[in-house]
Amino acid sequence: MSVPNQRINEAVRSALDALENRFQVRVLYACESGSRAWGFASNDSDYDVRFLYAHPLDWYLSVDEKRDVIELPLSAELDVNGWDLRKALRLLGKSNPALLEWLWSPVVYQQEDRFLSSFRDLAETCFSPRRCYRHYLHMAAGQWRQYLVDRPRVRLKKYFYVFRAVLGCRWIERHQRRVPVPFALLLDQVLEESDVRAEIDALLARKAAGEELAEADANPVLHRFVQDELNRLESRSPVDAGPSQIELLDDFFRAQIREGMGCP
User: By the 8 A CB rule, do 20 and 46 touch?
Assistant: no
- Residue 163: what pLDDT? 98
The pLDDT tens digits of the residues spanning 200-240 come to 999 999 888 877 778 899 999 999 999 999 999 999 888 77
Handedness of CA 104, 248, 126, 235 (dihedral sign): negative
- Position 263 confidence tier, pLDDT thresholds 50, 70, 90: low
The pLDDT tens digits of the residues spanning 56-66 come to 999 999 999 89
- Residue 138: what pLDDT? 97
- Position 243 confidence tier, pLDDT thresholds 50, 70, 90: low
Bigger pLDDT: 15 vs 4:
15
pLDDT score of 9 more than 60:
yes
Q: Name, in order, each residue with C-beta under 8 angstroms of 13's C-beta and a sequence gap of 6 or more.
A: 109, 110
- Position 89 confidence tier, pLDDT thresholds 50, 70, 90: very high
Handedness of CA 199, 227, 34, 101 (dihedral sign): negative
Handedness of CA 231, 241, 168, 72 (dihedral sign): positive
pLDDT score of 46 more than 90:
no
- Is beta strand 26-33 parallel, antiparallel or unpaired with respect to 108-111? antiparallel
Q: Name, in order, each residue with C-beta under 8 angstroms of 47's C-beta and a sequence gap of 6 or more.
A: 4, 8, 12, 32, 36, 77, 78, 79
- Residue 239: what pLDDT? 76
- Residue 151: what pLDDT? 87
